[in-house]
Chains A and B, each alone.
Chain A
Amino acid sequence: MTDLFSQLAAWLTSAGQWAGPEGIAQRLLEHVEYSLLSTLVAALIALPIGLFIGHTGRGAFLAINLSGFGRALPTVGIVTLVFLVSGLSMTPVYISLVALAIPAIVTNTYAGMAAVEADAKDAARGMGMTGLQSLWRVEIPLAAPLIMTGVRLATVQVIATATIAAYVSFGGLGRYIFDGLAQRDLTQVLGGAVLVAALAVAVDLILAGIHRILFRHRLT
């Protein structure tokens, strides 16, 4: 173990390891690109669904169960299936990562909206706001902290899972895990894992910081 950790330290700190088209910097960038794009697309799909259900109260049962169902989707299976049907491209990777991120965002958005008290909505209506105005000015701002929690959760999960891109020959930090395994280089596997975890934690901390700045006037 001692050897492994000192080799890991050497691997992580050697300048040669960071540079070039197969260096850590490039792999990190690819990983961020895959993860952010997937989370963004997932948010664009999941937020309207969560908001609609939360605002109207319609289809809540269906949506919550469908997201639970979505959580059970095996990423390896989705990637393989889409790859075999559509051929080799980033599409299988993006589809599986988006599918992974949607449930957390839908459920948290819905939960946030559902937690908005009826009094607040009544007050909005009483002030003469239309349904859409109430949604935009009252409900979304009140639900925002929980929505943000959902987005953070999804992002962390996507970053940890985006290693799957390497399974179908693409880049990202997963490259170190798959290549290290094939080349019997445990240091590389561990290095990849540590980098993924560090990236996930760093991004989560950044999002937490944004969260705090946005909602610092709140008690919740």
Chain B
Amino acid sequence: MIIEWGWLTTHTDDLLALTLDHLATAVPAVLLGLLIALPLAVVAHRVRPLRGLLLGISNIMFTVPSLALFVLLLPITGLTRTTAIAGLTVYTLVVLLRNTVEGLDSVPAKVREASLAMGTGRLGTLLKVEFPLALPVIMAGVRVASVMTISLVSVASYIGYGGIGQLFTDGFQRSFPTPVLAGVVLTLLLALAADAVLVLVQWLCTPWMRKGARA
């Protein structure tokens, strides 16, 4: 028997703890990514010459193997959760930045001009008009970034912050497939759940889209 089902039933507490640990790394990484991507995207959207530069850097950073990035961050941030979060944040940027720029691009110039003409101000226009209209595209990016991050967290098991991924190194060392399979399934379920939550959040945040859909 390859899978020891008994192990699963006696380790539900551990599995839950690892899942929470997984989220404790993944959620801040995506939020931090968003916090960095939003202002950068505004810059990339407004200042054309910087767009290629910013997108180019995020594309190149995306090609750096994650394990190497974690290891290279160690001397700076130490063996802490920060290292795992910082590394993962870098990978979320490629999706978040591109989608936010595309979202802002998709806002018709006339809409923006109308808002400015009504005296809303530049920041007001950005926050009240442009971001809300770009929201569907931004949220699509957040969904992809979240799923990707949840899957990538496991690489951080090499520095002890892999969450569910700790089950992979553990199973590997002991030649014990049960925890590994449990880890793969848990990661998929977590990604699915996170995606469902984000769909719900988007639905709640964009009431106008709902009306539009019904009309």
List chain A positions with a Cβ less than 8 A from chain B: 68-69, 71-78, 80-81, 83-85, 156, 159-161, 163, 174, 177-178, 180-181, 186, 189-190, 192-193, 196-197, 200-201
Q: How far is the CB of B178 from chain A (nearest CB, A)?
A: 10
- Number of B interface residues in the complex (CB < 8 A): 44
Q: How far is the CB of B72 from chain A (nearest CB, A)?
A: 6
Give the docked Cα–Cα distance between A190 and B71 (Å). Answer: 9
Give chain A residues whose Cβ lies under 8 Å from the Cβ of B141: none
Q: How far is the CB of B161 from chain A (nearest CB, A)?
A: 13
Q: Which of B59, B64, B150 contacts A196 (CB 8 A)?
A: B64
The answer to whether B172 touches A84 (Cβ under 8 A) is yes
B63, B75, B148, B172 — most chain A CB neighbours (10 Å)? B63
Give chain A residues whose Cβ lies under 8 Å from the Cβ of B183: 74, 77
The answer to whether B68 touches A76 (Cβ under 8 A) is no
Give the docked Cα–Cα distance between A68 and B59 (Å). Answer: 21
Nearest-neighbor residue (CB-CB) of A79 within chain B: B168
Give the docked Cα–Cα distance between A76 and B183 (Å). Answer: 10
Q: How far is the CB of A135 from chain B (nearest CB, A)?
A: 28
List chain B positions with a Cβ less than 8 A from chain A: 2, 59-60, 62-69, 71-72, 75, 144, 147-148, 150-155, 157-158, 164-165, 167-168, 171-172, 175-177, 180-181, 183-184, 187-188, 190-192, 195
Give the docked Cα–Cα distance between A200 and B60 (Å). Answer: 8
Q: Which of B152, B180, B191 contacts A69 (CB 8 A)?
A: B191
The answer to whether B187 touches A74 (Cβ under 8 A) is yes
Report how many A-B pairs have Cβ atoms within 8 Å.
Answer: 115
List the 5 closest pairs (A to B, CB-CB), nearest first.
A72-B191, A193-B68, A200-B63, A74-B154, A77-B184
The answer to whether A174 touches B65 (Cβ under 8 A) is yes
The answer to whether A77 touches B168 (Cβ under 8 A) is yes
The answer to whether A177 touches B68 (Cβ under 8 A) is yes
The answer to whether B63 touches A196 (Cβ under 8 A) is yes
The answer to whether A84 touches B63 (Cβ under 8 A) is no
Q: How far is the CB of A159 from chain B (nearest CB, A)?
A: 7
The answer to whether B71 touches A181 (Cβ under 8 A) is yes
The answer to whether B192 touches A72 (Cβ under 8 A) is yes
The answer to whether A81 touches B180 (Cβ under 8 A) is yes
Nearest-neighbor residue (CB-CB) of A78 within chain B: B184
Q: Is the interface of B mostly helix, strand, loop or mixed?
A: helix
**A159 and B180 contact, Cβ closer than 8 Å, known pairs A77-B168, A186-B72, A189-B72:** no
Give chain A residues whose Cβ lies under 8 Å from the Cβ of B75: 186
Give chain B residues whose Cβ lies under 8 Å from the Cβ of A75: 151, 154-155
Give chain B residues whose Cβ lies under 8 Å from the Cβ of A177: 65, 67-68, 71
Give the docked Cα–Cα distance between A76 and B64 (Å). Answer: 16
Nearest-neighbor residue (CB-CB) of B69 within chain A: A193
**A159 and B72 contact, Cβ closer than 8 Å, known pairs A81-B177, A84-B176:** no
Q: How far is the CB of B92 from chain A (nearest CB, A)?
A: 13
- Listed by A's residue number, 17 A-B pairs whose Cβ atoms lie within 8 Å are A69-B192, A72-B151, A72-B187, A76-B154, A76-B165, A77-B183, A78-B184, A80-B168, A81-B184, A83-B172, A84-B180, A156-B63, A160-B62, A163-B65, A163-B68, A177-B67, A189-B72
Q: How far is the CB of B208 from chain A (nearest CB, A)?
A: 24
Give the docked Cα–Cα distance between A98 and B153 (Å). Answer: 20
Q: How far is the CB of A155 from chain B (nearest CB, A)?
A: 11
The answer to whether A85 touches B2 (Cβ under 8 A) is yes
Q: A68-B195, A72-B151, A196-B64 given. 16 additional CB < 8 A pairs? A: A71-B151, A72-B191, A73-B187, A74-B164, A74-B187, A77-B168, A78-B184, A80-B172, A85-B177, A156-B62, A163-B68, A177-B71, A186-B75, A193-B64, A196-B68, A197-B64
Give chain B residues whose Cβ lies under 8 Å from the Cβ of A181: 67, 71, 158
Give the docked Cα–Cα distance between A189 and B158 (Å). Answer: 14
Give chain B residues whose Cβ lies under 8 Å from the Cβ of A83: 172
